[in-house]
Structure 1
């Protein structure tokens, strides 16, 4: 993969959002601005369709919306830190870290590999804590690249 999975311009810190839809739209806007998503509304519809199948909240304050879509040009990960949290359907409450995985529809299992690698790290409190303590987008992107992206 020549294009990095995540870069600082795909991270939003201190996001204020009232619900999962609002934070998802914010992350989609970052993906569009970076040229990784060609149609914000189309991709949002794909994410919502996936979310309607099953909630994507994970224990530990994690939201993990994801979708394969014809509107995605390259596998990407956008991240939001939402201090007040938004509901993603997790059993233990709102998500304060939201990871939007965007994968091309024609791609292979890229998004499943990203999802699995991220999920393996997110079960570790030390990983979640390091992301919460990161004060800027560049640091968040660096932590994820170091801990999640296969070398």
Structure 2
């Protein structure tokens, strides 16, 4: 894994009022692009859409987990959106209020799987999800994830 932090406050969108999966994902792609972690937002968005078309990435507990390996990603990254109104990511129990976009370089073999596994291990805990939903700002969300999501 690179020395670039997985997540920083500028990769967190708080209180999005979008109800469309594509629009939420696009917001996160734009944050990654603005932070210099994605070179071509259109290209990366197409890669994420292609992955999403294979299988819905909604998880129980109000979680959306879009992810892709892409030639347009510079460093393994995680962008997060809090969507109080919920957005449909195809989870069996309804809309997602937390959306995590995992971006991994195409050549980074297991990077995205390590991130996905580490995140999934935390997301099964309601206390972790609640702490993110109750976090007052982007800095707090980034801090919680940095502390809790440990890549082994």
Using the size of structure 2 for normalisation, the TM-score is 0.98
CA distance in 2, matches of 1:94, 1:80: 13
CA distance in 1, matches of 2:150, 2:39: 24
> Is the counterpart of residue 109 in structure 1 residue 102 in structure 2?
no
CA contact (8 A) 2:114 2:151 kept: no
User: How far off is 1:16 after superposition?
Assistant: 1.1
The 3-state SS of whatever aligns with 1:47 is: helix
User: How far off is 1:149 after superposition?
Assistant: 2.9
Taking only aligned residues, the RMSD between alpha carbons, in angstroms, comes to 0.8
CA distance in 2, matches of 1:124, 1:60: 9
CA distance in 1, matches of 2:112, 2:151: 13
> Is the counterpart of residue 7 in structure 1 residue 8 in structure 2?
yes
2:70 corresponds to = 69
CA distance in 2, matches of 1:58, 1:66: 13
User: How far off is 1:61 after superposition?
Assistant: 0.2
CA contact (8 A) 1:14 1:83 kept: yes
Q: Which runs of 5+ in 1 are unaligned?
A: none
The 3-state SS of whatever aligns with 1:130 is: helix
Q: Deviations over 1:1-31 (max 9, x none)?
A: 2100000000000011121100000000000
For 1:1-151, what aligned pairs fall within 5 Å after superposition?
1-150=2-151
The 3-state SS of whatever aligns with 2:86 is: strand
CA contact (8 A) 1:5 1:149 kept: no
Q: Deviations over 1:64-114 (max 9, x none)?
A: 000000000000000000000000000000000000000000112010000
Q: Deviations over 1:22-55 (max 9, x none)?
A: 0000000000000000001000000000000000
